[in-house]
Each structure stands twice: as structure tokens, then as C-alpha cells.
Amino acid sequence: MLEAHQIRKMYPNGTVALHDVSLNVTAGEIVVIVGGSGCGKSTLLRVLSGLEKPSAGWVAVDGAPIEAPHPAVGMIFQEPRLMPWLTVQQNVGFGLSHLSKAERRARIEEVLARVGLADYGRHWPRELSGGQSQRVSIARALVTQPSVLLLDEPFSALDAFTRIELQDHLLELWAGGQQTLVLVTHDIEEAVALATRLVVLKPAPGRIATTFDVQLGQPRSRLSIEFGDEKKRLLAALDDSLSESRAHVAG
């Protein structure tokens, strides 16, 4: 379980990015965080990962405090952030220096096969498409065998076809290993396609407006009436949170 308790994040200039945010993510969930620009979505993810320390509150995974990047928590960013001077397999295995050569090779081969890049280990990043590069990024996060995977708008820079393809592939990885996922997105359809639970943030400062389960199984048809109903429910929740924030500012 990933736990965040009464998180507050204030920057040196006095800006409060997050206020009193508490969130529990149980094993096997896909929690998708949505909200308007400036509501602290990415900041929350960085606090959950240990990349940023909260000003108050705490984060823990399986009962262990997270005060810095933790091996039980993997992170995938919007950009693949591959090292161009390393091959695909070297990028994926970069954090495995503590393992023997044989163990490293086995881990790398296993995750590259899982993301559909079994034949690309010796390729260079410059030889990959955008979608392939992001698959390498996913493999690099999976190779350390984290119990929780955090994703910060991982598909937003991709074209629509590739984005849907990788969303479906992420669901296959989740179904195969029951990975726990926490994902930030601006994409309403992506949120409904992936989430078992949705968390809506409201801005100034970032707080949880509401959270609710998505009443759909997997696989999901984006053309179904039920999918459309869930999109409407999310849009209504977002509209309510933004209306409340506008009223607060006006008052």
C-alpha cells in the first residue's frame, strides 16, 4: 500500500502547492489523478516518489517511510529521458549495478520482452520512435521490480494512435503483474480508460476535491454508453472543483 498523510508542500517563495492531501492506494489499483493546471498534480507525484520532500505530512510504502527515491516506487516521466550514449539494454539496466552480470541480463531481457522490445536491446535511442522510447522508459522503471509505479503524463507527447496503443499495453502489463499504478493526466478519455479510481484535485492550493471508483471493468470500449457516462461524471466533478475555486477567488 502507498500512503500519503496530510501532505503540505510550500515553496521558499511562500507558494503553497499542496494542502492537507491524504491518499491511500491499495495493491493492484490504478489511481488516476486529474485536475486543472496549477493544482499540484505533478508536485504530488514527486512527493509520492521521494523526489521532493513535503513541508508537512508523510509518505510511506508498505509501512516504510519515503523520504528519498525508494526502490519500491518506480517513476515514469513525460519524456523518456534516455541516455543517448547508452544502448536500450544499457539504459534499462542502468540501476542494476548491484546484481551479477547474469542476473542483470535476465532482468533486462524479461522486461524488454514484457514491453514488446525483445529485439531492440542493442539499438540506440536515436533509432527508436517516440512510442518505442517511452516503452524503454517503462521497462527501465519495471526492471527494479517496484511495487508501485508512478506515471507523470507519460503519453502526452505522443500522437493519438500511439497514445492509445501504449495505454492498452500499460493495461496488459498491469493485468499480467497486478502492478499498482498512480498516474497523472490532463486527458479525460485516458483517465476513464485506465483508472480503477479517480482523484480530482482543485487548485490554489492543491487539495483533493473528490475521489470515486470507475464503474467499468476491463477491457473497456471507448465507444460504449457506459464509458461516455463515466466521462460525463468526471467532467462534472472537474467543473464543480473549478467552480468552487473561482468562487473562492472571487470572494
Each residue's pLDDT tens digit, 113-168: 999 999 999 999 999 999 999 999 999 999 999 999 999 999 998 999 999 999 99
The answer to which of 54-58, 178-182, 204-208 has the lowest mean pLDDT is: 178-182
Phi, psi at residue 206, to the nearest 5°?
A: -65, 125
113, 116, 136: which is closest to 124 by C-alpha?
136
Q: How many C-alpha atoms does 153 have within 13 Å on its Cβ side?
A: 16
| Residue 137 CB-density burial (10 A; 0-12 exposed, 13-18 middle, 19+ buried) | buried
Say whether pLDDT at 250 is over 80.
no
Say whether pLDDT at 187 is over 70.
yes
Distance CA 203, CA 148 (A): 26
| CATH of segment(s) 9-72+146-250 | 3.40.50.300
Residues 19, 55, 23, 79, CA torsion sign = positive
137, 122, 210: which is closest to 169 by C-alpha?
137
> C-alpha 125: how far from its chain's center?
22
Say whether pLDDT at 251 is over 50.
no
pTM, full prediction: 0.92
Q: Which residues touch 123 (CB under 8 Å, ≥6 apart)?
A: 87, 88
The answer to which of 82-91, 97-106, 120-129, 170-179 has the lowest mean pLDDT is: 170-179
| Domain extent listing, the chain | 9-72+146-250, 81-145
